[in-house]
Structure 1
Amino acid sequence: MQTSFFTTPGRFLRGNLHTHSTGSDGILSPQEVCRRYQAQGYDFIALTDHFVGLFDYPITDTTECRNADFTTLIGAEMHTGTMENGNLWHLLGIGLPADFTAPHAPHFQSVDGSESAASIAQRARDAGAFVAIAHPHWSGMSEADARSITAAHAVEAYNYGCVVDNDRGEGFLILEHLLNQGRRLNLIAADDAHFNTPDHFGGWVMVKAEENTPEALLTSLKAGAYYSSTGPEIHDIRFIEGGVEVDCSAAATIVIQGKGTSTATLHGHKMTGETLSLSRLKDSPWVRVTVVDENGKRAWSNPIWLDGAA
């Protein structure tokens, strides 16, 4: 298996993959949204306005907002089909072509006979997009719902806007149900920013890429060459005989999770390079790393499969 992570050429680039503007139900123009994210130190964002007929199925063009230090990914939050609870699906398509065919989704209510979520997710992936299942907790998503989406690259495991506005912002349980069934998915943290509440600058991805270009970012996202964070940094994760070495910014807690309830957990003060034993996780097919700082802010690695397969 691969024994070291984040050592590929390039640098970490900070980005938000779930953002809204006046192209749908956000309150700021696309240009102002981009300006604010760049001013906050972000390297890129994806504007993901709601892809419904109410807003004329927008795939918001932000190419004019790109500059030498900031880039944008073209995308949308896709809606179609019906979940078990009767609600409309929410899926992120990052890197969609401008002519991506819209489903029959005239508004935010489900429509009988509309395209399934599994179908639009597959179409988006086939069109070159990075696809993520959005805010499972807020959506009331069931495990069966999640299993139906076979084309996703990731689950939105942390949605800052949902944390702020309704305390339903995490998707780790849905992610782990899928991992435990052998589904090789990654995770993302994002804002879901509309700027009508303090729903911005709270969750992001750190993508390792050689260039800050849409093409390089999408390649790294699809390859899982990134981690997600609300503050801490993960510099490297190295596997050694029987354990894992984690290099990170100053941490109060480092946790390694896997299948089942067993974890490897280390508490300390300003830990930056620590080794944790995998003895309690030796039977898990996957592990992931969480880093927590003294303020409770967290960073998460993508799941790492111990058989070494991609």
Structure 2
Amino acid sequence: MDLPFDLPGRFWRGNLHTHSDRSDGALSPDEVCRRYREAGYDFLAITDHFKAKYGFPLTDTRHLRTETFTTLIGAELHAPRTEFSSEWHIIAIGLPSGFPPPEPRESAPHLARRARAAGAFIGMAHPAASLLTETDADSLDAAHAVEVYNALSAREDRGDSWHLTDVLLNRGRRLSAYAADDTHFQPQDPPGCAAWVQVRAESLEPEALLAALKTGHYYSSTGPELHAIRLEAGTVTVRCSPVRKVMVTGGAPGVQLVEGEALTEAVLPLAMFKDGYCRVTVEDRAGRRAWSNPIHLGPQASSTTS
């Protein structure tokens, strides 16, 4: 996938995994959207649980769209079962009104394929918290992306799903990687607006955002900003908001690391990743992180972005 930083348009901040009182959230869709809008978000997807006990909601937030804030229509889909859990959790964003509920014996891979065929962006929700195995994850062949950080699951020390993502990437899957907060606004939950994506698109139109998500034109964050990533002559140059660490990891064990008090630029070698892939992670003084999508390398890989 192409690096997004030099593409036309700008970055739009949004959350891809959120719940309202249409399923097990505490607040109405209007109130949820108000909170994200006032926190500086540009868009939001409310992904209520698509279950019979909630009436299979596709929470309609179109009336809350304005010139400066928009919404994507989606849901968290469920089907039996994974190796260690009674049900799957699948994020589907961009579902059409009237998307049919799952059949009683419909498998998760079939349900995800059906949602993707209907136009949705498909994500594997909180794999670490769901204890997804590699076999589970590999069966979900319709997925565009993995939810590599889930702020709600971090409460249980299972927020980070990069290990499974790296295994899948090394097995040849072409997946992007997004962060989300999975907010329910229940009293015991961590605060909302804790993890998000920055999507590069020419406009805030839902169709433009959805297309950018599907092509991986975004990065994820819990705080820092990525301003540019440039690949050239076997190195990667990263420009970002002030951080204490810039790291490059990928399809081989080990890390390339630069540390400092307030780094805003770093140059790191890529030789250890050869023709595989790499990804950039930055961490600020508060321990908050931002992640690029996987960057696939080749013998002639060279891309300048700003």
Q: TM-score scaled by structure 1?
A: 0.93
Q: Would you say 1:236 and 2:228 are equivalent positions?
A: yes
* Superposed CA offset, 1:277-307 (max 9, x none): 112222x511000011111100000001113
CA distance in 2, matches of 1:49, 1:199: 18
Q: Would you say 1:137 and 2:128 are equivalent positions?
A: yes
Per the alignment, in what secondary structure is the counterpart of residue 154 of structure 2? helix
Per the alignment, in what secondary structure is the counterpart of residue 164 of structure 2? helix
* Superposed CA offset, 1:67-104 (max 9, x none): 11100000000001200114200000000001111114
Q: Which residue of 1 aligns with 2:269?
A: 277
Q: How does 1:41-120 map to 2 (within 5 A)?
A: 41-104=40-103, 114-120=105-111
Letter in 2 for 1:206: Q
CA distance in 2, matches of 1:198, 1:147: 31
Q: Which residue of 1 aligns with 2:293?
A: 302
Where does structure 1 lack aligned partners over 5 or more consecutive residues? 106-113
Where does structure 2 lack aligned partners over 5 or more consecutive residues? 302-306
Letter in 1 for 2:292: S
Per the alignment, in what secondary structure is the counterpart of residue 129 of structure 2? helix
Contact 1:131 1:153 in 2 (8 A): yes
* Superposed CA offset, 1:214-245 (max 9, x none): 00100111111100000000111110101001
Which of 280, 284, 288 pairs up with 1:293? 284
CA distance in 1, matches of 2:272, 2:219: 24
Q: How many residue pairs are counted as aligned between the two chains? A: 298
Q: Which residue of 2 aligns with 1:108?
A: none
Per the alignment, in what secondary structure is the counterpart of residue 50 of structure 1? coil
Q: Which residue of 2 aligns with 1:109?
A: none
Which of 206, 228, 242 pairs up with 1:214? 206
Classify 1:134/1:199 alpha carbon distance in 2 versus 1 (closer, same or farther; 3 Å).
Answer: farther
CA distance in 1, matches of 2:10, 2:4: 13
Contact 1:5 1:238 in 2 (8 A): no
Offset of 1:133 from its aligned partner? 0.2
Classify 1:120/1:143 alpha carbon distance in 2 versus 1 (closer, same or farther; 3 Å).
Answer: same
Offset of 1:199 from its aligned partner? 4.2
Q: Would you say 1:177 and 2:176 are equivalent positions?
A: no
Letter in 1 for 2:13: R
Classify 1:264/1:194 alpha carbon distance in 2 versus 1 (closer, same or farther; 3 Å).
Answer: same
Q: Which residue of 1 aligns with 2:150?
A: 159
Instruction: Extract structure 1 runs of 4+ deviating beyond 4 A.
Output: none
* Superposed CA offset, 1:174-215 (max 9, x none): 111100101000101001010002241110000011111100
Q: Which residue of 1 aligns with 2:18?
A: 19
Contact 1:87 1:139 in 2 (8 A): no
CA distance in 2, matches of 1:167, 1:49: 23
Per the alignment, in what secondary structure is the counterpart of residue 97 of structure 2? coil
Deviates more, 1:66-75 or 1:193-202: 193-202
Contact 2:248 2:256 in 1 (8 A): yes
Q: Would you say 1:205 and 2:197 are equivalent positions?
A: yes
CA distance in 1, matches of 2:241, 2:77: 35
Percent sequence identity over aligned pairs: 51
Offset of 1:5 from its aligned partner? 4.2
CA distance in 2, matches of 1:32, 1:266: 42
Per the alignment, in what secondary structure is the counterpart of residue 19 of structure 1? coil
Letter in 1 for 2:146: V
Letter in 2 for 1:70: F
